[in-house]
Amino acid sequence: MASASPSLGGNPTDLGKRLAWTLFLLCCYRIGVHVPIPGVDAAAIASFFESMSGTLFGLFDMFSGGGLSNVSVFALGVMPYISASIIMQLMQVVSPTVKRMAKEEGQAGRRKITQWTRYLTVFITLIQGFGIAVGLENMTSPGGASVVLDPGWQFRFVTMITFTAGSILVMWLGEQITERGIGNGISLIIFCGIVVGIPRAIIQSVSLIEAGDMSIFMAVLILVFMAVVTVCIVFVERAQRRIPISYAKRQVGRKVFGAQNSHLPLRLNTAGVIPPIFASSLLLFPATIGQFATNEYIKKAADFFSPHSLLYNICYVALMVFFCYFYTAIIFDPKDIAENLKKSGGFVPGIRPGEKTQEYIDGVLSRLTFSGSIYISIVCLMPMLLISKFNVPFYFGGTSLLILVGVAMDFMNRVESYVISGQYQKLMSDARRGGRS
């Protein structure tokens, strides 16, 4: 999920090229979403998924950008790659070898981990592709038409290979966006998949109002609720806890630096949109296999993981809290921060440098992460009540809002940083030319 960001800095023309490259790759992704796999009846598939709207398929289809309902080559989207990324990040905790590669071997180690993540993505996609292929063979439209035109091992093999190739291509598109475009490619692909489904969700809501299943007052109330949630998300995502840092008077060579005061900014939600994406990815994997399965016991077990069930929501909250702490621990190490402060002569007022500073920063970060996990859980769970009680489409849920706002803010911050860096480089270039003259 997390890819190395390209170095920022450049002129407006270069920024325009990066934005155009990002838009072009996202358009390529959207084209692939509408290319169906061979051997399926498109009309029967459309009828089946229309009858399954509002179920778990709606949530999975949202993350795949409509690829699942089309049974396209991009039906699995980025979910296998996200699942592989989760496993590899967990391996950094339990495996000293993987941790050493990530921490000490630099760019070569990170390239090796990325390579393993790709191999694991292929393995996960093959398993999911086989399960979906078997499920498709046993599916029929509401009219009784078979979804698969010619079931058998040939169809299963072709489906597995097609899904695997599609997932690898989506993974490659995401990496290219990250390296040559602006923003995190995988997050932007998920963002794009959600955005293109909003018009369809609006049409669905209007149909509910016309049919009398939803009152106009309730529709207005939902819009107000969404606006309030969006404002809260923006406020919390920008919230910081600033730890004061002081630097004592010191001498470096012949230069004497006076005492300085600064601060260490800690975000309330350091993990960003990673926890709900990772949690949804893990919960959707077994639940989707259960939905496609024909065994009654597996289907009953899958019912416990429907988005409206108590078990699903408990697991969802538990996974989000876990990934909030887990991802924060990966990207922010209090021990490294304390050591760097001690080496540079910095200290937290009233706290001894070294181990005590590490304990203080770790305590503050733990409390912030707990508050951030509660905030994410509330945002993602409260709209579930609207979905279950008032038949609101998944696109208006808290998870989708959090991803949309979070990714949009990250994208704008990267664009702003790119522009500022370009202006700084231009000023430095002008200053050097002035000095030579």
Whether the pLDDT of residue 303 is over 80: the answer is: no
DSSP count for the chain of H helices, then E strands:
16, 5
Q: What is the separation of C-alpha 284 from the centre of its chain, rounded to a whole number of angstroms?
A: 14
* Distance set, CA 184 to CA 216, 251, 273, 295 (Å): 38, 41, 12, 40
Give me the pLDDT at residue 386, please.
Answer: 63
Give me the pLDDT at residue 414, please.
Answer: 84
Taking residues 197-214, what's their average pLDDT?
A: 75
CA gap 284, 278 in Å, rounded: 10
Topology of domain 12-428, per CATH? Preprotein translocase SecY subunit (1.10.3370)
CA gap 274, 86 in Å, rounded: 10
Whether the pLDDT of residue 257 is over 60: the answer is: no
Give me the pLDDT at residue 289, please.
Answer: 59
Whether the pLDDT of residue 234 is over 50: the answer is: yes
Question: Encoding tokens for residue 351?
Answer: 């706290």
Task: Provide the pLDDT confidence category of residue 205 given band limits of 50, 70 and 90.
Answer: confident
Which runs of consecutive H residues, i.e. helices, occur in 34-95? 42-51, 56-63, 79-94
Task: Provide the pLDDT confidence category of residue 208 given band limits of 50, 70 and 90.
Answer: confident
User: What percentage of the chain's residues is helix, strand, coil (to nearest 5)?
Assistant: 70, 5, 20
Give me the pLDDT at residue 4, please.
Answer: 42
Report the candidate in 54, 79, 51, 58 with the shortest Cα–Cα distance to residue 147: 51
CA gap 324, 154 in Å, rounded: 43
Average pLDDT, the chain: 77
Instruction: Provide φ and ψ at 245, rounded to 5°.
Output: -125, 130
pLDDT in tens, 97-143: 877 777 777 778 878 888 888 889 899 888 888 877 877 777 776 66
CA gap 105, 108 in Å, rounded: 6
Give me the pLDDT at residue 7, please.
Answer: 44
CA gap 408, 411 in Å, rounded: 5
380: left (phi over 0), alpha (psi -120 to 50) or beta: alpha
Are the CB atoms for 66 and 193 separated by under 8 Å? yes
Give the torsion sign (CA, 319, 322, 328, 330).
negative
Who has greater pLDDT, 46 or 405? 405
CA gap 136, 326 in Å, rounded: 36
Instruction: Quote the Cα angle for 366-105-4, to 5°.
Output: 65
Give the residue extent of every domain in the chain. 12-428
Which residues in 127-210 belong to E strands, given as ranges?
none
Give me the pLDDT at residue 433, please.
Answer: 64
Task: Provide the pLDDT confidence category of residue 144 given band limits of 50, 70 and 90.
Answer: low
Whether the pLDDT of residue 320 is over 70: the answer is: yes
Taking residues 334-351, what's their average pLDDT?
A: 83
Instruction: Provide φ and ψ at 72, rounded to 5°.
Output: -90, 175
CA gap 175, 366 in Å, rounded: 32
152: left (phi over 0), alpha (psi -120 to 50) or beta: left
Q: Taking the model in full, what pTM does it have?
A: 0.74
Question: Encoding tokens for residue 395?
Answer: 């696109």
Give me the pLDDT at residue 254, please.
Answer: 60
pLDDT in tens, 64-108: 666 677 778 888 888 888 888 888 887 877 777 877 777 777 778
Whether the pLDDT of residue 3 is over 50: the answer is: no
CA gap 59, 397 in Å, rounded: 10
CA gap 193, 261 in Å, rounded: 45
Whole-angstrom distance between the N-terminal and C-terminal Cα of the chain? 48
Task: Provide the pLDDT confidence category of residue 231 given band limits of 50, 70 and 90.
Answer: confident
Taking residues 204-232, what's their average pLDDT?
A: 78
